[in-house]
């Protein structure tokens, strides 16, 4: 109980530091992408690699952060984390902190719940533009989709539209 309270306080502090710091300029290009992914959703890294491969010709560097609600999945998967990767005082483990601090052009917050840890990981990242969904705290995303991430075909179509618009700016 105290751990969750500490984490909520630390999240709010980090949130206030992050809010309104991203500015997209006319020379914006997607060269690096981070995906913050809820492990319970039925998509994997290849879904995003294929999607961006269809849209752009340039090589894109990817960072994946998958959050699992159980500790069992985190041991067997490469980019998988859980709440135990955040200590009692709200400090991220070195591995998770490194994944969050890697600067990217675009961050896709691919989750549809208000999970404290997913939101916290999302705001800890350094990015220029973020996409996300309305069922979570809409203040953490720059572009908000009005459907669920489970609708992967809809996401593909809408995502393509936004990337094409960004390419023409």
pLDDT tens, residue by residue, 24-35:
666 778 889 999
pLDDT digits (tens, 9 = 90+) for 95-154: 999 999 999 999 999 998 889 999 999 999 889 999 999 888 888 898 999 999 999 999
- Domain borders along the chain are 2-20+30-168
Coil, helix or strand at residue 37: strand
At residue 21 the predicted structure's pLDDT band, cuts being 50, 70 and 90, is low
pLDDT digits (tens, 9 = 90+) for 141-161: 989 999 999 999 999 999 999
Residue position matching structure tokens 């959703």:
41
pLDDT at 38: 93
pLDDT at 43: 92
CATH 3.30.70 at 2-20+30-168, yes or no: no
> Is the whole-model pTM more than 0.85?
yes
Question: Across all residues in the chain, what is the average pLDDT?
Answer: 87
Report the distance separating Cα 169 and Cα 166, nearest Å. Answer: 5
> Dihedral of CA 68/71/76/78: which sign?
positive
Q: Who's near 149: CB < 8 A, 6+ residues apart?
A: 38, 41, 43, 110, 111, 112, 133, 155
Report the distance separating Cα 101 and Cα 126, nearest Å. Answer: 6
Q: Is the CB of residue 107 less than 8 Å from the CB of residue 33?
A: yes
Helical packing angle, 152-168 and 45-55, nearest 10°: 40
Mean pLDDT of 6-13: 83
Report the distance separating Cα 87 and Cα 77, nearest Å. Answer: 20
Is the confidence at residue 13, as pLDDT, over 70? yes
- Tokens, residue 129: 């533009």
């Amino acid at each position: 109980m105290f751990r969750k309270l500490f984490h909520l306080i630390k999240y709010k502090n980090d949130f206030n530091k992050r809010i309104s710091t991203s500015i997209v300029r006319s020379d914006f290009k997607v060269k690096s992408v981070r995906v913050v992914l809820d492990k319970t959703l039925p998509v994997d890294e290849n879904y995003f690699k294929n999607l961006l491969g269809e849209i752009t010709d340039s090589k894109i560097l990817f960072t994946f952060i998958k959050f699992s609600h159980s500790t069992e999945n985190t041991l067997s998967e490469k980019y998988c984390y859980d709440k135990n990767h955040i200590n009692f005082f709200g400090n991220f483990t070195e591995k998770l902190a490194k994944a969050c601090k890697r600067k990217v052009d675009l961050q896709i917050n691919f989750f549809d719940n208000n999970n404290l840890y997913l939101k916290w990981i999302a705001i800890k990242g350094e990015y220029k533009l973020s996409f996300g969904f309305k069922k979570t705290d809409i203040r953490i995303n720059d572009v908000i989709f009005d459907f669920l991430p489970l609708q992967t075909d809809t996401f593909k179509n809408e995502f393509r539209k936004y990337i094409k618009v960004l390419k023409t700016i």
